[in-house]
Structure 1
Amino acid sequence: MRVAAERFQRSKDTIHRQFKRVLTALCGLSPRIIRPSSRGETPPEILNSPKYYPYFEKCIGAIDGTHVAAWAPAQKQTSYRGRKVLITQNVMCACSFDMMFTFVYTGWEGTANDSRVFTDAVLRPENEFPFPEEGYYYVVDAGYTNMPGFLAPYRGERYHLRDYRGPRRAPRGPIELFNYRHSSLRNIIERCFGVLKARFPILKLMPNYPPRRQRRIPIACCVLHNFIRREARRDRLFEEFQVEDIIVEGEDMATPNLDMSPENIAQMTNIRDKIAQDLWRDFTQGS
């Protein structure tokens, strides 16, 4: 507030009042700006890529959680101490492959794992989570259960992009190839988080606002993120994070598993196995 007051030559009270007004206005726009354009069509970014099509033709986006800075009074800081022992808020987001956020869920303290936040986000009807059409899915990391609507990688195998960097580290077999392509595809959500945090420093150093306002700030930032992406395609930050396999530090982490029924897990496991076998067949035939 002090910096803004000095820059615009206004009192801190005026800056504080206008900040609240803008925050309310941006959050009011979120249902119109943070939403999927489609839940049942192959995105052009996949359709036009031999790397992903036809293997992932039913994928509509990616989901992951990220930690943003939070402020809490001393007596409540324990529950907000997330990764790296920082005071954080766990935010779950979904995005499309054109780097637009399609769902944002905020308010969980930093100690909450991604699976717990995910369960709360999708099971509460008032959240209006954008479930994909039947047969379509989001790509998610190993912290989520492989189930209808959510395609996870094989656990216990190499997965993250950095695991495949360097000589003699090419995928060995259908499972590793699947994990590599899956990781590359899911990297879109990490790049979105990279743009978001690079553009909005408040997500790294939160003032001592009340909890309700802290929950709304990431939503407002995502609204502005989508607006800029839609209206300014030559934006510097978006161009910087446009590189498909860029590794975004701090966003490449797994979380505990979420238990689901054996039938649902088996259904999505069959889809994953088929994609892995098709990828490996075409990969070996082409090499």
Structure 2
Amino acid sequence: MASELNLSESERLELWNKSRFEAFLPSTVYLVLCIVVGVAGNGVVIYIYRFRLHGKHDGRYFIPHLAVADLFAVLASGELHIMNNLYPVTYRFEKLCKWNFVFGFVATVFSTCILLLIAVQRYLKVCRPFGRQMVLFWRRFSLLLSLLMTVILGVPSYFTFGLEKVRNLELNVTGSACRRLTTTTQTLSLVHATVCTMLTVTEGALLIVLYVKICKVIFQKDQNLGKPDTKKTNISKMFMVITMIYLVSFLPRMITFLLEGTKADLWETIPVEAYGVVRMVELLYIVNHVVNPFVYAFMDVKFVKEFKQVFSCTKPNCYPPEM
């Protein structure tokens, strides 16, 4: 340690940055893989559901919109966290830091809002088949309203995230990190974190309640008819799996999101190795924006059929879209 203190301030700062960069390397590799797989997978989903199955199955109406939100979310969140991993204590791009958090927040939250819209639509179709349904107007209106509310909720991120001065007492050096501002806007950060956490918990509870009701109705119908409605059951199960992945993958991020708003210099109080592990775990939420295409591939027969027709075709347009 004495020899390290003999180094210049810039050398000590670079040494600190390097130690964190190396601890974050597994999560950096993970983020790159998420971007590659997420862009390719969601791109395929957008093409098939938007151009091959568009207008034929209203139960899948929200899928291409969810894929667009997931594609932007994986790009925005991936770029945000890769930059943070590359410059953990030497970040200098304040505007980029702020806008990265805003775009990442909006895309991620909008994606989760679409999951709730899907759950409501499935509930109406399965539990109230003879009642009022989400016609095209209300599906479009709900999407626009969700996007507007998400943008409004995301605006405070510009003021609650930015370049924060961080201090390493052992190396006697000060750096700058792109993260939640806990020294200059601690109250606003805590309020914003609390509101977002409460909304996420509420949404999670609504999703669980809706899908529990859907499961009960499907089970009762299967028992009464003796023969399950495979089509409706598979679609409902598919969206249940997607929702479960969301709930599980977002939990660690919600915990750290709230903790960051309550304690200044939180990440300077734990060893860098432990921080690297926490960093990897909290970034698991990005899986939510990557895995959906694989869920469709396993559980949506029509998606699989169209996928095979498109990607096994040796001549352009040799297979027409399904009618």
TM-score, normalization by structure 2: 0.27
Q: TM-score, normalised by structure 1?
A: 0.29
Higher CA-based Rg: 2
Kindly indicate which of the two structures has a greater share of residues assigned to strand.
1
